[in-house]
Structure 1
């Protein structure tokens, strides 16, 4: 399993939201590139970036911060938030992103996801964010009537690199991940699944690792900023057999 440190970008700063509420943002740093470098220095092998403003605007907003992170680090990075057309996908990949994450557009225009996954093999992930098992879109502002598993199954043979599954009610709440729902989703599809939302201790990582599903990785944000998880220790734990 891979540990993905999260850098959530709002107005150019590193923040963490509470359950996806833009009005409940805690600022952890004004220099995202410096934060990214510190994660890399501690041993992370990937970075997980989110353009929070972009998720609401439907187009990239924190591009300057993302570009600064890419220039300052040498590990692959994936980005979600406001990526809703082929031109934006292509532009981000050209700028050096290893992977784009498509969320809202996976619900609104699944054909675009399949087209992008075919055009850019290994570089397109689907972000599935769920509240009580139902998919939420538009920066989590709107809950749909589609289940997370049904959405994931639509991309089963599309060549999608990964599914990032976030339980919104756990996100930023430091209450632990929804291990059962994450494992159930991972066991329902053959696409690699990355757990997100609520990962707040090494015990949470152990629980995901022994969930009964072969998870690709886990994303953690607030716990790393608060010092509840030591990044180097977490990386070693997830690498161990």
Structure 2
């Protein structure tokens, strides 16, 4: 199982939100590229980047910070937030992002997801952000009646590289991930599922790994707070 350290970008800074609330942001640093380099030095295989302002604006906002990260590290990075048209997808892939994450458009323009997955095999992921099993869009500000599993299954034949499942009510809360729901989703589809939201300890990562079906996990606040040591976590998962 791959561990993805998270760098969430708001106004050019590294932050973590509590349950998706932009007004409940904790700033952990003003040099995202240095944070990315520290994660790489600790041995991570991937980085998970989110343009939080972009998710609300519907277009990239923290582009300079993302490019600074790409210029500083050699490990691949996936990026979500404000990516809602083919031109933006192409621009980020050309600039060195290994995989783009499409969230809002997966609901509002699913044909774009399919088109992008065909054009860029292995480089398109779908972000499934949910409250009580139902998808939320536009930076989690708008809730829908669409069930996560239904949306995931609709992309089974699209060539999507991964599904990133976030339980919004657990995100940044340090209360543990929704292991059962994440595993249920992973068993319901053939697309690899990455867990996001609530990972607070090595035990949480082990619980996700031990499901045998979860392909990866994203952690942010636990790494910044020191509740989770990245090097030790990576060693344990690889061992």
TM category, shorter: over 0.9
Aligned to 2:9, the other structure's residue is in SS state strand
**Runs of 4+ in structure 1 over 4 Å off:** none
CA RMSD of aligned residues (A): 0.5
Aligned to 2:134: 134
Distance in 2 separating the partners of 1:74 and 1:176 = 30
Aligned to 1:106, the other structure's residue is in SS state helix
| Alpha-carbon offset, residue 160 of structure 1 | 0.3
Q: Does 1:61 align with 2:61?
A: yes
Distance in 1 separating the partners of 2:185 and 2:94 = 31
Distance in 1 separating the partners of 2:128 and 2:119 = 21
| Alpha-carbon offset, residue 216 of structure 1 | 1.2
Aligned to 2:147: 147
Equivalent runs, 1:1-241 vs 2, <5 Å = 1-211=1-211, 213-240=212-239
| Alpha-carbon offset, residue 116 of structure 1 | 0.1
Distance in 2 separating the partners of 1:127 and 1:230 = 26
| Alpha-carbon offset, residue 237 of structure 1 | 1.7
| Alpha-carbon offset, residue 238 of structure 1 | 1.7
Aligned to 1:176, the other structure's residue is in SS state coil
| Alpha-carbon offset, residue 215 of structure 1 | 1.3
Count the aligned residue pairs. 239
Distance in 2 separating the partners of 1:160 and 1:73 = 25
1:72-126 superposed Cα distances (whole Å, 9 cap, x missing partner): 0000000000000000000000000000000000000000000000000000000
Q: TM-score, normalised by structure 2?
A: 0.99
